[in-house]
Amino acid sequence: MTGYDLSAEVITAALMTRWVGRPTVFHRTTSSTQDELKRLAEQGATEGTLVIADEQLCGRGRMARKWIAPARSSLLFSILFRPTFLLPNRAQWVTMVCALAIADAVYEVTGLRPNLKWPNDVLLRDKKLAGILTEIEISQENKIAWVIVGMGLNVNVDFSQLPELSGTAISLSEAIGRPVARLPLLTSLLSHVERRYEALRAGHSPVSEWAAHLLPLGQEVTVVAPEGTFSGFAESVDETGALLLHLPDGRTISILVGDVTLRRKTSERENNGVK
C-alpha cells in the first residue's frame, strides 16, 4: 500500500478512534475539505466529522494562500470540533492538539521527529512538512460553535517536480527515501488527535508541551503581523498561543498571528524535535 489506498470504507474500517473520523467523508477530488466541512458544520454535523480528499482543486492555507499537493501524494483533511468547554480565546489550543498529533504520528510511523513552528506549521529539517489552517465560528452568546482544523501533510510529494516549493517544503518520502503508506499514518494521527483532545476536555492545557518544541522560541526573529513588522527576541508564548516578542526598546509585545522569519537557521534544533 502506498498512495492508492484510501476510501471512506477503508478508513472507517481501520480507525482506532471512538469519535474522530466518525463519520468520514472521502472524496477523490474536492474543491477544499475545509469549505465542505464548514458547510456540514452549519448543517449540524457532529464533532469528529472528517472530510478527506485525495486531491483538492482549491486547497488553501492562511490568508487565501494556496496549498499545493498532487493527487494522492498527501493527507489532506479537515476535522470538526465543538469545544464548547473552551473560551473563544483558547480556540488555538485545538490547533496545538492537532500540531502535536501530527508530530506524534510522524514519529510513530517513520521515527522522524518534526519541529513545530509558530503559529501553525510542522517542520522537518527546517522545511515545511505540514500546514494547519484553523477556522472558528463564535455564536452570538460569545461561545465557540465550532472549530475546524484543516491539515495538509506532505507524505509522498516529490518536491523536485515543484520547483516553487522545493526550497521550503519537504515530504516524508523524501526524508526517509521510500514511499510512506498514508492509511496507517492517518489512523495514527487521528488516534493522537482524539487522545490529546480528550485531555484538553479534561482540563489539560497543551500550551507547555507545544511551547517546548516551538520554533522560534529563544531566538532572534522578524515577525510580519497585521499590526506591523517587528524584530526582536522570541521569548515565549502566552496561554492563548500568542507570541511574546521582546523588542530592542525593552518592550515585550504579544502577537496573535504573523509570519516568522528566523534570523539564524537551526537544523532541527540539533535533532531535538517533538518528543
15 or 241, CB closer to ligand ATP? 241
Count of residues in contact with ligand ATP, rule CB under 6 A: 17
37 is written with which cell numbers? 466541512
Question: What angle, 0 to 180 degrees and rounded to 10, lies between the N-to-C axes of helices 182-201 and 92-110?
Answer: 140
- At a CB cut-off of 8 Å and minimum separation 6, what does 110 contact? 172, 175, 176, 180
**Residues 91 and 144: beta-carbon distance below 8 Å:** yes
Q: Which of 51, 69, 124, 237 binds ligand ATP (CB under 6 A)?
A: 69
Minimum distance from residue 19 beta carbon to ligand ATP (Å): 26
Distance CA 128, CA 165 (A): 9
Verify binding: residue 54, ligand ATP, rule CB under 6 A: no
User: What are phi and psi for residue 116, nearest 5 degrees?
Assistant: -105, 145
Q: Which of 121, 174, 194, 209 binds ligand ATP (CB under 6 A)?
A: 121
Under rule CB under 6 A, which residues in 253-272 are in contact with ligand ATP? 259
Displacement of CA 91 from its chain's centroid (Å): 14
- Provide the edge-to-edge strand list for the sheet that holds 228-237: 252-255, 243-246, 228-237, 220-225, 259-262
Q: Of the listed pieces 38-46, 63-71, 143-151, 199-207, which binds ligand ATP according to CB under 6 A? A: 63-71
Minimum distance from residue 190 beta carbon to ligand ATP (Å): 20
Q: Of the listed pieces 127-135, 142-150, 211-219, 233-241, which binds ligand ATP according to CB under 6 A? A: 127-135
Q: Which of 154, 156, 188, 191 binds ligand ATP (CB under 6 A)?
A: 154
Q: Of the listed pieces 3-11, 57-65, 84-92, 184-192, which binds ligand ATP according to CB under 6 A? A: 57-65
Q: By Cβ distance, which residue is nearest to ligand ATP? A: 61
Distance CA 129, CA 153 (A): 6
23 or 179, CB closer to ligand ATP? 179
Q: Of the listed pieces 62-70, 180-188, 193-201, 230-238, which binds ligand ATP according to CB under 6 A? A: 62-70
Verify binding: residue 28, ligand ATP, rule CB under 6 A: no
Minimum distance from residue 48 beta carbon to ligand ATP (Å): 23
Q: How far is CA 45 from CA 37, 40, 54, 118, 164, in A?
A: 8, 5, 22, 30, 37
Verify binding: residue 62, ligand ATP, rule CB under 6 A: yes
- Could you give the residue ranges of the DSSP H alpha helices within the chain? 8-14, 33-42, 92-110, 172-176, 182-201, 207-212, 268-271
46 or 168, CB closer to ligand ATP? 168
Interface ranges with ligand ATP (CB under 6 A) = 61-62, 65-69, 120-121, 128, 131, 133, 152, 154, 165, 169, 259
